[in-house]
């Protein structure tokens, strides 16, 4: 049975920085929701764009949320996951938006107009790796480069 391995803060940041798609978990009046989205890492924050009328905008603003990014390699039976937890805020101030480089964020994959930028400043950042083999020579991203867990 594989045992999970906690990832270092530096490795969590590297995996967050390399990602494009993640998921935000929030509570809405209809219950828990998980929303996939494109994101960018800016300092100690995960930022994304959404519609002003989306569940994230209506129920995530000024709330505690969890953001998760992961990768699963079914062939090698290994996976990693990074979770950031913190308070979410809308970025309404043009100066703050410019400082965060929101204009250079990846375009949302979902269609529609998504002008509202949101930021989750994490207070907790954790990551775990699970693999069935104990070899440290294969990275979970499949690159073949030495693992840095």
pLDDT tens digits for 101-149?
766 666 777 777 788 889 999 999 999 999 886 554 444 444 444 344 4
Instruction: Report the pLDDT value the prediction gives residue 100, as an integer from 0 to 100.
Output: 74
Residue-wise pLDDT tens digits, 78-102: 999 999 999 999 988 877 777 777 6
- 3-class DSSP string for 6-49: ECCHHHHHHHHHHCCEEEEEEEECCEEEEEEEECEEECCEEEEE
Residue 73 has pLDDT above 80, yes or no: yes
Global pTM value: 0.82
Tell me the backbone φ, ψ of residue 58, rounded to 5 degrees: -80, -35
Beta-bridged to residue 5, according to DSSP, are 129
């Amino acid at each position: 049975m594989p045992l999970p391995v906690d990832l270092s803060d530096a490795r969590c940041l590297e995996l967050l920085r390399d990602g494009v798609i993640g998921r935000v978990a929030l509570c809405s009046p209809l219950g828990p929701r998980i929303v996939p989205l494109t994101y960018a890492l800016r300092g100690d924050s995960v930022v994304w764009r959404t519609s002003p009328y989306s569940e994230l905008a209506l129920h995530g603003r000024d709330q505690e949320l969890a953001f998760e990014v992961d990768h699963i390699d079914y062939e090698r039976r290994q996976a990693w996951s990074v979770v950031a937890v913190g308070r979410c805020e809308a970025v309404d101030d043009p100066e703050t938006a410019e400082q965060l480089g929101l204009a250079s964020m990846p375009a949302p994959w979902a269609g529609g107009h998504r002008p509202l930028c949101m930021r989750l400043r994490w207070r907790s950042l954790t990551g775990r790796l699970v693999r069935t083999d104990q070899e440290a020579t294969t990275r979970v991203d499949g690159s073949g480069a030495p693992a840095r867990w």
